[in-house]
């Protein structure tokens, strides 16, 4: 996953996530403080779908949820609390 700052042209690569095999989608939080990442977890393609959040600087990665009880994460969005 890479973040491109349009104004400066700066490109940053997010740290590798050994437990995230296939990132499918991401969404910025409304206030820009976090990025939600949806993908598949585990050592091989086809692991359980899962969701994480991370700060834009690549720190503070948080696991949110995984499991086969929800569809493959392909269009993640943020909802108001």
Chain segment 46-66, per-residue pLDDT in tens: 677 888 899 988 889 898 888
| Each residue's pLDDT tens digit, 13-32 | 877 776 666 777 889 999 99
CA distances from 3 to 12, 23, 44, 52, 57 (A): 5, 14, 25, 17, 9
Task: Give this prediction's pTM.
Answer: 0.75
* Greater pLDDT, 49 or 33: 33
Structure tokens at 53: 């959040």
What's residue 16's pLDDT? 74
What pLDDT band is residue 34 in, cutting at 50, 70 and 90? very high
């Amino acid at each position: 996953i890479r973040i491109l700052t349009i104004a400066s042209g700066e490109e940053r690569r997010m740290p590798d996530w050994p437990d995230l095999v296939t990132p499918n989608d991401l969404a910025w939080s409304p206030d820009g403080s976090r990025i939600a990442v949806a993908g598949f977890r585990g050592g091989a393609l086809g692991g359980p779908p899962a969701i994480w959040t991370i700060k834009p600087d690549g720190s503070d990665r948080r696991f949110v949820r995984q499991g086969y009880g929800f569809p493959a994460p392909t269009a993640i969005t943020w909802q108001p609390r």
